[in-house]
């Protein structure tokens, strides 16, 4: 039995010296993915899982010399070229998408891997920039950077390995750069980019435009629950005749202002966010697009932190942290794309560990 993982990740260059190879690279990768699906969080637990499921795994993997040791697994993931791994991951994800959704919102967002921080050697935690497809509920790709400030260079790299044609790319203020907007338009996609202090003049320009002009459309949503009341008012201007910087941003067609008000147990807070966009649409759609961006927090970062305990993991050598993060995202995508209703990711991991038939279903075998 072979998985789609074999087809795509067999192309990954093996970084090991030939005479030292006792285990196939693809066996190590697929073993690690299956182990993580079933709850493994470390090199030791991958080895332990492999030995406890050896008979089952031998139907999927060749295992010429049995289950690799945790030291071997660690060493291999430390050496694997993370850039090539990321490229193959982006190609593999497309095999999970049955139908490309026109206007799919793809959120680009960064997250620091806290466990990769090495205080002894004065090394900051590595930073991972990920692309999250909100409707398909899949991670489309990731790029590793040495620190958060490098997001500006990482985002174009990530966009270049993704098929984003016809999609709407949402990025927070770090990614509000003219070159990034141009890259998105060149790839026949649209953007919604947040404005903060790093775009001082443009932010003031957008503020002044809202002072001078009435919005072309307005939409307000109200959500109640668990002692919390949240109101989101979105205002959109599509006629940008008075926006001084309009011509400097590729494809710019709209600006949006979202006023988010919260009342939790009687305490009120309010925040105003500004956006520029190549999308020409009304406030109802913009309110939805912008809200979907935050799905990356709840559907990706939160699950990786809470269910996969990503921040608790101590992987600091070579490419180990970013490569293991990619293994977790492969596992998450397979679990997400398994069609059982009313089962959390945590529950699916438990059942996959207990029930080989369900595990084969997750692996699409």
Compute and round to an integer the Cα radius of gyration of the chain.
22
Cα separation, 327 vs 300, in Å, equals 14
Per-residue tokens: 251: 């494809």
- How much is the pLDDT for 318? 63
- How much is the pLDDT for 2? 78
- CB atoms < 10 A from the CB of 216, how many? 14
Cα separation, 351 vs 343, in Å, equals 10
Per-residue tokens: 245: 């910087």
- How much is the pLDDT for 311? 65
**Beta bridge pairs of residue 277:** 192, 254
Query: Within 13 Å and on the Cβ side, how many CA atoms surround 124?
Result: 12
Q: Which candidate, 105, 30, 27, 113, places its Cα nearest to that of 360?
A: 30
List CB contacts of 178: < 8 A, sequence separation 6 or more.
248, 249, 250
C-alpha to C-alpha distances, 12 to 47, 85, 202, 217, 323, nearest whole angstrom: 21, 7, 43, 50, 12
User: Angle 320-337/345-354 helices, nearest 10 degrees?
Assistant: 90
**Beta bridge pairs of residue 64:** 66
Cα separation, 45 vs 66, in Å, equals 16
DSSP notation for 185-211: HHTT-EEEEEE-GGGHHHHHHHHHHHH
The tokens 């066996």 sit on which residue? 27
Instruction: Say if CB 305 and CB 224 are below 8 A apart.
Output: no
Question: 3-state DSSP helix/strand/coil percent for the chain, to nearest 5?
Answer: 45, 20, 35
Consecutive 10-residue runs of the chain (365 residues): their mean pLDDT?
A: 90 88 96 98 96 97 97 96 96 88 91 62 75 94 80 92 96 93 98 89 94 96 86 96 91 97 87 97 97 85 83 66 94 95 94 98 94
Is beta strand 228-237 parallel, antiparallel or unpaired with respect to 254-264? antiparallel
Element spanning 128, H or E: strand 127-133
- How much is the pLDDT for 237? 98
Query: Cα 83 to chain center, whole Å?
Result: 16
List CB contacts of 271: < 8 A, sequence separation 6 or more.
259, 260
- How much is the pLDDT for 113? 74
Instruction: Say if CB 41 and CB 314 are below 8 A apart.
Output: no
Q: Which candidate, 341, 263, 349, 329, places its Cα nearest to that of 113?
A: 329
Instruction: Say if CB 213 and CB 237 are below 8 A apart.
Output: yes
> pTM score, two decimals?
0.90
Cα separation, 298 vs 226, in Å, equals 17
Q: What is the pLDDT of residues 106-161, one digit of tens each?
A: 999 988 876 555 554 556 678 899 999 999 999 999 998 876 667 889 999 999 99
Cα separation, 359 vs 21, in Å, equals 28
Cα separation, 315 vs 296, in Å, equals 23
- How much is the pLDDT for 317? 65
- How much is the pLDDT for 313? 63
Domains of the chain (ranges, CATH numbers): 4-81+319-362 (no CATH), 86-303 (3.90.350)
* Helix, strand or coil, per DSSP, at residue 31: helix
């Amino acid at each position: 039995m072979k998985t789609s993982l074999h087809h795509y990740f067999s192309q990954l260059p093996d970084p090991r010296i030939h005479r030292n190879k006792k285990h196939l690279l693809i066996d190590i990768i697929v073993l690690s993915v299956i182990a993580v699906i079933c709850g493994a969080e470390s090199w030791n637990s991958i080895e332990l899982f492999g030995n406890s499921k050896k008979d089952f795994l031998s139907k999927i993997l060749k295992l010429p010399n049995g289950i690799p040791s945790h030291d071997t697994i660690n060493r291999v993931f430390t050496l694997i070229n993370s850039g090539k791994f990321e490229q193959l991951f982006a190609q593999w994800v497309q095999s999970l998408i049955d139908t490309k959704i026109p206007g799919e919102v793809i959120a680009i967002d960064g997250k620091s891997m806290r466990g990769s921080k090495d205080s002894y050697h004065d090394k900051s935690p590595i930073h991972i920039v990920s692309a999250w497809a909100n409707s398909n509920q899949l991670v489309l790709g990731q790029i590793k950077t040495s620190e958060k400030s490098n997001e500006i260079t990482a985002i174009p790299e990530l966009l270049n390995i993704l098929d984003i044609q016809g999609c709407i790319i949402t990025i927070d203020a770090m990614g509000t750069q003219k070159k990034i907007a141009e890259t998105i338009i060149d790839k026949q996609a649209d953007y919604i980019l947040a404005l903060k202090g790093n775009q001082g003049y443009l932010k003031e320009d957008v503020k002044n435009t809202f002072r001078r002009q009435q919005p072309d459309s307005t939409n307000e949503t109200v959500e109640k629950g668990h002692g919390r009341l949240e109101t989101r008012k979105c205002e959109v201007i599509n006629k940008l005749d008075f926006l001084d910087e309009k011509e400097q941003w590729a494809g710019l067609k709209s600006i949006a202002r979202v006023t988010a008000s919260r009342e939790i147990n009687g305490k009120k807070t309010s925040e105003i966010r500004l956006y520029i966009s190549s999308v020409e649409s009304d406030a109802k759609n913009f309110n939805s697009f912008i809200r979907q961006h935050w799905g990356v927090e709840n559907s990706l970062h939160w699950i990786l932190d809470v269910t996969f305990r990503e921040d608790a993991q101590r992987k600091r050598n070579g490419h180990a942290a970013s490569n293991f993060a990619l293994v977790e995202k492969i596992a998450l995508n397979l679990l997400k794309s398994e069609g059982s209703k009313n089962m959390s990711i945590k529950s699916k991991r438990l059942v996959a560990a207990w029930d080989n038939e369900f595990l084969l279903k997750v692996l699409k075998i």
